[in-house]
Amino acid sequence: MSQAKPPYSAVARTSQEMSSQHVRFAHEQHLSEATDIEESELFDMRARPTETMEAADNDALYYAVSLGSRRRTRKVLYLVFADGLIRDLPCRSYSGRVFWVTVLSLVVVSVVGMVWLYSDGISWMQRSKKRNVILMISDGFGPASETMARNYVQQINGLPIGYKSPLDEILVGSSRTRSKDSLVTDSAAGATAFSCLMKTYNGAIAVAEDKMPCGTVLEAAKLQRGMLTGLVATSRITHATPASFSAHVTHREMEDLIAEYQIGNYSLGPVVDLMFGGGRCHFMPNTHANVSCRMDARDLWSEAQAAGFNTLSTRKQFDALDSHGSGAAKALPILGAFASSHMDYEIDRDAAAQPSLAEMSAKALGILDAATKKKNAGFFLMIEGSRIDMAAHTNDPAAHLRDIIAYWDAIAVVRKFVEEHPDTVLISVSDHETGGFSTAKQLTPEYPEYLWNPRALEHVRHSIEYISYKLLAQPADDQEARYKYVRDTVFADWLGVKDSKHEEIIAVAKETESIRLRQLLSDVISNRAQVGWATHGHSAVDVNLYAYGLNAHLLRGNQENTDIGQFIVDQLGLDLGKISGKIKADRVIQGTHAIKESWLGRRDLDALDHYPAAH
């Protein structure tokens, strides 16, 4: 994205401010040159003949030009103006020469000043102003999913047809999603486009195509601007999206090493001040078999505590955090992992055990705001609605819907914060779409009906993931008991299906393989809602781009995903190249075997699922 010119107010200065600004710059950058001029008393014009005055004029012009320019510019201007123009001035009188020197000096200073303002100057002013950047990522959330959620909320609640969601109101454009090696990205490459401003291969966590680490906007915000930083997610905090801002590994499955990065075990030290999410198992040693998923015996939870982290694992500890008073800053750094693996889907979440995405977002904003209240540096916060994507991988429309609405709740929290803090910008974007989702599904070979049915999702009480886990735990040898369990508990109670067919119940009750069972359950819900899925993976469609607050208008239109990261860099005046240079020798390959994450769903190509009503 080409760098947009900032509004005039971003560079405006009074003449007095500009004058004092240049004096300070001259004093710091050219002290020795100024001293030489002063000591030679060349500025005492009354005591010097014409030759000396000419030299004084030349040196004065050189000194003025040097205030806002680079060395090359200074040398060229000196040669051209000082040695050429001044000597050829038409007026040879003393007063005339002084007049023309003054005019030329003002012209040169003005030109150089403008160049400085629109290059180094703007960057300097950006770095000197307090700003907050909140990047929200709705993983796997495509345009059709926004339509589904809007239709659902509008119809179920009897709202006007013109109802707009919290996202609809701040839509500014769209984002392209392809990675370096595929038109269809994964979350790792998608998040790295935001964090490092570069296209890389699928699976890469903040490393370039050559597998060298790339500096991230979070790292640069921390080290170059002194900002506080945070990550909030409903996945494991070591999962692809949060990892791409806080770690550097050649493949996303290396979550043991990602966890080491996140508590500061690399050359930059700790750069993340606050982490809320799941994934506690990657911080626990494998000697704790029931709570660990690490492949080694390192106890990163204890290491984090020793490094000063305030570690949280329960809802009670979360609620006890002071997010507004004087204790907020003292609580940092924080590592809060409220589930061993991913946090629960919103549709399954026990509010007494796990905070919601909106609650974690509000708590993070309160703590970071309170901790930066009296500082000139703000904060960078990444918030991910992680499980929107995972529900779509399973082709679970009800879980997908509820996590979207939970994301809307978080958006509302952040929007309120932005309204109260005009130095803040909110960006909301997806890394990709998942499922090839559509608000349409043809159920018969005949010409299809033009409808979809949001009310079929209203009474679903649990995710397909939860239901399949519970069902597979039932004894397989008692088919009669399983049949009744499926009919009365799974269909009637959990899925809200009152018109179940014998064939559906039998198929679900007999299935003992998890992936096929999930597909059967998906069909039960999706067919009744008449929503469609093209894949259990990702798609290549553009995703919606939303923004609100400071300079949000600069994101209007269709953007590459790397443009989102560039916007953040421009907002904060960051230099990611310098960060990359500092971490080029850091380890990017995990020493132990990485756990391959299981596929969340599989399309059985032999299944008669295109027109189920016809068979």
Residue 91 to residue 86: CA distance in whole angstroms: 10
524 close to 497: Cβ distance less than 8 angstroms: yes
Residue 323: CB atoms within 10 A of its CB come to: 17
CA angle 195, 191, 243 (to 5 degrees): 85
Specify burial of residue 445 (Cβ count, 10 A radius: 0-12, 13-18, 19+). exposed
What distance in Å separates the CA atoms of residue 386 and residue 191, rounded to the nearest whole number? 12
Cα 481 versus chain centre, distance:
48
What tokens were used for 536?
A: 């259990």
CA 120, CA 210: separation in Å to the nearest integer? 31
| Active-site residue, 539 included | no
List the Cα angle 230/376/121 in 5-degree steps: 105
Name the DSSP class of 458. Answer: T
Burial class (CB in 10 A: 0-12, 13-18, 19+), 247: buried
Please tell me which residue in 138, 187, 246, 500 is annotated as part of the active site: 187
Between CA 563 and CA 314 the distance in angstroms is: 38
* Contact predicate 244/191, CB 8 Å: yes
Residues 457 and 401 sit within 8 Å (Cβ to Cβ): yes
Residue showing tokens 């043991």: 256
List residues with catalytic annotation: 187
